[in-house]
Structures are given as C-alpha cells and as structure tokens.
Amino acid sequence: MARTSLHNCPAPAKLNLFLHVTGRRPDGYHLLQSVFQLIDRADTLHFDLRDDGRIVRTTEVPGVPQEQDLIVRALHLLADEYRRRHGRAAPGMDVAIDKILPMGGGLGGGSSDAATALMVANHLWQAGLSRDELMALGLPLGADIPFFVFGETAFAEGVGEALQSVPGPDCWYVVLEPGVSVPTPAIFGAADLTRDSKPVTISDFSRYQSVHNEPVGFGKNDLQAVAARLFPPVAEAVEWLGRYGRARMTGSGACVFCALSSESKADDVLAQVPAKWKAWKAKSLAQHPLKSLLQDRCVVE
Ligand SMILES: C[C@@](CO)(OP(=O)(O)O)[C@H](O)COP(=O)(O)OP(=O)(O)OC[C@H]1O[C@@H](n2ccc(N)nc2=O)[C@H](O)[C@@H]1O
Ligand SMILES: Nc1ncnc2c1ncn2[C@@H]1O[C@H](COP(=O)(O)OP(=O)(O)O)[C@@H](O)[C@H]1O
C-alpha cells in the first residue's frame, strides 16, 4: 500500500561556516563561495495527501501568506512538473508546519522548509524526480534550496547552486538570535559591501580544517560588516559571543554562532547568555535526515 502521509519531517537549519562574495553576475546576483553546514535544529513539517489536487497549508505562519510561502510555491512547481511527466494532475497535499527557525535569521529556514516539502511530495506523489532535478526545480525560489536537497556539508559556489560535498567539522554550536529580522536584499544592495574576495578552493578549506581543527576559523563572512552596521544588535551579539570563541554571523544574518568541542561547553556558554537574547545549542549534522527518501528514486516501501 502506498503511503498517504508523512508526519514529523524535519527541515534542519544551516550555518554558513564562511561566506565570501567574489563578484557579481550580469543580472546583479552576487557570486559567492561558502561552506554550508546542516545542524540539528529544525522546523517540523507534516504532510497528508489530498485527492482534489489542491495544495493547502493548514497552519498559520505570521507574516507569510499561504500563497507566498516557499513550501506552497515549491509544491506548485512540483505539481506542474508532475503534470508534464505523468499527463495528469498531482494528487494534492495538506502541509502543517511547526516553525521554530527565525525568519530572516540566515539559517535558511524558509528554503529548508521548501526543500523538505519537495523531497516528501516527490516521495508521496511518486513523482519520480532525481535529486539533481529537485535541486534545479527549487533554485529559482531560493539559492539555498539546492543545498538542502543536496543534503550534506557542501562547498558552494555560483549563487549557491554549484555544490561539492566536503567533510565538515563534528562539533556543537551555540547560536544567538539577536532579535532582528535581516532582509537579504538590503545586505546585498549596500554600497559598502565588499564584492572582491579572492577565490579560495575546497582544498584550502579542508587543509585549514585538518591543520587547525577550528570550525569557524577559515575565511570570514563578507556580509557581516554590512549587517552589523545596519542592525546594531548583530554587532552586539558578535561581540558578546566572541568571548567564548570565534563568533560569526550566518548567511545574511541575523543569527550569530560559535563552535564548541562538547555539549557541556555549549551548555556553559548558554548559561551565561543575557536574558534579552534567545539562544540555543545545536550539533553539526553530516547528512540531511530525509536523504534516504531520494535514494531509490521514490519507490514507496
Ligand atoms: C545569503 C544566503 C547564503 O546562504 O542565505 P540567507 O541569509 O538568505 O540564509 C543566500 O545566498 C541568499 O539567497 P536567496 O535565499 O536566494 O536570497 P533571497 O532572499 O531570495 O534574495 C533576495 C535578493 O538578494 C540579492 N541576492 C541574493 C543572493 C545572491 N547570491 N546575490 C544577490 O544579490 C538579490 O537581489 C535577491 O533578489
Ligand atoms: N515557510 C517559510 N518559512 C520562513 N520564511 C518564509 C517561508 N516562506 C516564505 N518565507 C519568506 O522568506 C523570508 C526569509 O526567510 P528565511 O529563509 O527563514 O530566512 P533566511 O533567508 O534569512 O535564512 C522570510 O522573511 C519570509 O518572508
């Protein structure tokens, strides 16, 4: 019997261990180099097949109307592709979401939600897309979506769509939420953003890790100076967390993280966090928890 629902599906967050802006494409999009690391802090999604072809988000997400939700938009794209391939409408889906990742946090929450939706719907609908096809389908909605479908620690280039697997550090992170939502376009559009970081190679990153064993040591986040200027709470969080190790912003902000070698060291830092900030610990994840859904080109067990 084919499955009709999948509940408690994780959509994990990512950290950008470093993020360099190396140039700009003719369309204005920025060329990046980054290492994307999955962590075990996640939104949780629940999927139930419908038989009327409709795609319905059954929970409210404050500030995100249903038709703008990346989950709903991604499922519409997959439904269009389903119709092209199978010559009939896709079955439809109800999606509920328990959202804990902050929006505009640089943790890729919206993109991860969309990637989880693509992987699960591809499975439940038996749509038959390969991993690469799902990555390409998601890219126009968000540059981080291909990474989440890729599903392992990655050295990323282009706008984030050219991905190579790379061994990531096995460690704990403390993440501070500075309490502001940073709009990505404001950061990329800033006049003082530096766009000329010298290109590095995947071997430069791996060599650094093997010599220094320092997850947040390699490179820097080129978006951080602009975000810290426009959003002072980001600067304050970097300065505070910097007492406990190298602290860095993820993505275009606002969240700030530092690496710790053990869970108890992460707990020690968390015990000191001022009450005005939300903070949590997370462990690095080598693989996306849903990766196995794509291994068999979606043959339902
Ligand atoms: C910075 C990163 C790093 O992982 O992550 P987040 O901070 O969002 O998690 C991503 O590249 C975020 O990519 P994406 O998710 O596509 O960004 P969006 O919010 O859709 O982009 C908003 C706008 O930012 C600019 N933009 C975005 C990405 C890029 N490589 N160059 C750009 O110039 C474009 O003007 C775009 O219209
Ligand atoms: N399911 C979703 N979850 C979060 N944000 C979403 C979602 N769908 C659309 N968005 C929009 O995407 C924006 C970026 O959200 P998010 O991916 O969480 O942050 P970031 O890109 O900084 O990591 C939000 O401000 C929101 O308007």
Pocket of ligand 1 from Cβ distances under 6 Å: 16, 28-30, 32, 106, 108, 111, 142-144, 159-160, 184-185, 188, 251-252
Annotated catalytic residue, options 69, 113, 144, 222: 144
Atom 11 of ligand 2, residue of closest alpha carbon:
110
169 is in an annotated binding site: no
pLDDT at 195: 96
pLDDT digits (tens, 9 = 90+) for 135-176: 999 999 999 999 999 999 999 999 999 999 999 999 999 999
CA of 147 from ligand 1 middle (Å) equals: 13
Give the span between the Cα atoms of 115 and 150, in whole angstroms.
9
pLDDT digits (tens, 9 = 90+) for 32-50: 999 999 999 999 999 999 9
Mutating to test ligand 1, I would choose from 33, 148, 184 the residue with most ligand atoms within 8 A of its C-beta, which is 184
Residue-range domains of the chain with CATH = 5-166 (3.30.230.10), 172-285 (3.30.70.890)
pLDDT digits (tens, 9 = 90+) for 234-279: 999 999 999 999 999 999 999 999 999 999 999 999 999 999 999 9
Per the DSSP assignment, residues forming a β-bridge with 9 are 45
Give the span between the Cα atoms of 187 and 55, in whole angstroms.
33
Answer positive or negative: Cα dihedral of 228, 98, 286, 147: negative
Residues whose CB falls within 8 Å of the CB of residue 267, separated by 6 or more in sequence, listed in order:
281
* 3-state SS assignment for residue 158: coil
Annotated catalytic residue, options 14, 43, 99, 281: 14
Q: Predicted confidence band at 295 (pLDDT cuts at 50, 70, 90)?
A: low
Residue 204 falls in the annotated catalytic set: no
Q: In this prediction, what percent of the chain has a pLDDT beyond 90?
A: 94
Picking from 292, 237, 243, the residue whose alpha carbon sits closest to that of residue 269 is: 243
pLDDT at 301: 35
Residue 48 falls in the annotated catalytic set: no
DSSP character string of 223-289: THHHHHHH-HHHHHHHHHHGGGS--EE-TTSS-EEEEESSHHHHHHHHHHS-TTSEEEEEEEESB-T
